[in-house]
Amino acid sequence: MLRFVLTRVGLVIPTFLGIILLTFILIRLVPGDPVQVRVGERGITEERRLALLHEMGLDRPLHVQFFDYVGGVLQGDLGISIITKKPVMVEFLTLFPATLELAFFAILFAASIGLPLGVIAAVRRGSAFDHTVMGLSLTGYSMPIFWWGLLLILLFSVDLGWTPVAKRLSDDYFVDQVTGFMLIDTLLSDDPMNEGSFLDALHHLILPTVVLGTVPLAVIARMTRSAMLEVLGEDYIRTARAKGLGSIRVVAVHALRNALVPVVTVIGLQVGTLMGGAILTETVFSWPGIGKWLVESIGRRDYPALQGGVLVIAALVMTVNLAVDLLYGLLNPRIRHRR
């Protein structure tokens, strides 16, 4: 088992170094002089330009710059944002909880609906229910989620007036950022003015959660169904039935336990998709998270922010994939016991 873990971790390290190299190259491919980019339209004297280059360490040989960069990254130094002049890491950590909160609920939403739908569709394969679930999930999978968000806003916010249009909290409340998770911060706040802010935050979460969760929901439902179909045809399911077990026990214990292994893998692999989806969802709902920040950083030509963001997100995705890989080993006794 230890060896299994070490091999997997060992495989991830070169990829991570590759990511660092990629982001390092990325920012150097930007057309134009970095100093020019930084100062923008304003003119600058040659003397000042060289001074700035030196200040930014850009007058040194490329490999020295790279090792400096790697050293910085490993210490959590992702550079300084051109616009806010704050460390990129600080910016990221301030905004990340908003994205994490949204992503967490989206996956929860997707799994809690997608799993049962997939299981029932598999058990009743060929039925009208099965066809409906499969049709809807393919539609969900094909959904341009930025449009889906607008459509839900149109229906639930504009026409029905049930849900807020944007942001994480109504303007009536001022909640201090403690953890960054709005649901927790609203509960921590003891200001009487903030009474009801928890429900307000929850209210704001509904539409973005649905929008971000739609594609994972579709993927999970389809994957669960096909995994269940495969497992339900296995000999050991017939054995379980021959033992006189009830059909619920056969499906929920004997089949699901085995189908869950590929499904959990798929849920884990949705993290990358989820980060891509967060970019669009956060833009549609003006959700102050990483996705919106990245789009805005590109718009403001804040390359250090973009570079840092890409790096941290890639590292995150890799970590989650690694965790899924290890979890897969835990769930699958055939791997767990391999020596």
Partner 1 sequence: MPLLEIRNLAVEFQTHRGPFRAVDGVDLTLEPGELLGVVGESGSGKSVTMLAVMGLIAWPGKVTADVMRFDGIDLMSLSDSDRRKIVGKDIAMIFQEPMTSLNPSFSVGYQIMETLAVHEGGSRRERRRRTIELLEQVGIPAAASRLDSFPHQLSGGMCQRVMIAMAIACNPKLLIADEPTTALDVTIQAQILDLLVSLSRERNMAMVLITHDMGVVAETAQRVMVMYASQQVEEQPAERLFEQPRHPYTAALLEALPERALEKRLNTIPGVVPGIADRPSGCVFNPRCNFAQERCRIEQPLLEPKLGARVRCHFPIRGDVS
Partner 2 sequence: MTDITLPAAEPVSRPISPSREVWLSLKANKGAMAGLIVIVLLVIAAVFADIIAPYHYAQVFKECVVEVCPPAWREGSDPRFILGTDAVGRDLWSRLIHGSRYSLFIGSIVVTISLAAGILFGLLSGFFRGTIDILIMRAMDIILSVPSLLLALAIVAILGSGLLNAMIAVAITYIPHYARLARAAVLTELPKDYVTASRVAGAGTLRLMLNTVLPNCLAPLIVQATLSFSTAILDAAALGFLGYGAQAPTPEWGTMLADARSLIRSMPWVVTLPGLAILITVLAFNLLGDGLRDALDPKLKR
Q: Residue 266 interacts with partner 2 (CB under 8 A)?
A: no
How many CB atoms neighbour CB 178 within 10 A? 12
Q: Is 245 in the site for partner 1 (CB under 8 A)?
A: yes
For residues 297 and 289, what is the distance between their CA atoms, to the nearest angstrom? 12
Residue 278's Cβ-count burial label (10 Å; 0-12, 13-18, 19+) is buried
* Residues forming a β-bridge with 80: 87
The answer to whether residue 339 forms part of the interface with partner 1 (CB under 8 A) is no
Q: Give the largest Cα separation in the chain, rounded.
A: 87
Helix (H) or strand (E) holding 250: none
Interface with partner 1 includes 235 (CB under 8 A)? yes
294 binds, among partner 1, partner 2, none (CB under 5 to 8 A by kind): partner 2
What are the two backbone dihedrals, phi and then psi, of residue 87, each rounded to the nearest 5 degrees?
-60, 135
Asked if residue 280 lies in contact with residue 145, where contact means CB atoms within 8 angstroms, the answer is yes
Q: Which is nearer to partner 2, 144 or 196 (CB)?
A: 144
- Binding span for partner 1 by CB under 8 A among 5-13, 107-115, 132-140, 244-252: 244-252
Can you tell me which of 112, 132, 239, 319 binds partner 1, judged by CB under 8 A? 239
Q: Is 251 in the site for partner 1 (CB under 8 A)?
A: no
Q: How many whole angstroms separate alpha carbon 285 and alpha carbon 283?
A: 6
Q: Which does 66 bind (CB under 5 to 8 A by kind): partner 2, partner 1, none?
A: none
Identify the three-state secondary structure at position 76: coil
When the beta carbons of 254 and 292 are compared against partner 1, the nearer one is 254
Number of residues that bind partner 2 (CB under 8 A): 47
Q: Which of 25, 243, 286, 330 binds partner 1 (CB under 8 A)?
A: 243
Residues 6+ apart with CB under 8 A from 84: 91
Position 161 contacts partner 2 (CB under 8 A)? no
Ranges within 4-33 binding partner 2 (CB under 8 A): 14-15, 18-19, 22, 26, 29-31
Are the C-beta atoms of 225 and 134 separated by less than 8 Å?
A: yes
Closest C-alpha to 231, from 122, 85, 101: 122
Binding partner of residue 26 among partner 1, partner 2, none, CB cut-off 5 to 8 Å per kind: partner 2
CA distances from 175 to 98, 181, 191, 214, 313 (A): 14, 11, 9, 29, 27
Give the binding range for partner 1 (CB under 8 A) out of 37-45, 55-63, 99-107, 234-242.
234-242
What distance in Å separates the CA atoms of residue 232 and residue 234, rounded to the nearest whole number?
5
What minimum distance in Å lies between the beta carbon of 324 and partner 1?
18
Name the binder of 254 from partner 2, partner 1, none, CB < 5-8 A by kind. partner 1
Query: Which parts of 143-295 are beta strand (E)?
Result: none
What residue ranges bind partner 2 (CB under 8 A)? 14-15, 18-19, 22, 26, 29-31, 135, 138-139, 141-144, 146-148, 150-151, 153-154, 158, 272-273, 275-277, 279-280, 283-284, 294-295, 298-299, 301, 303, 306, 309-310, 313-314, 317-318, 321
What residue ranges bind partner 1 (CB under 8 A)? 234-236, 238-247, 254, 257-258, 332-334, 337
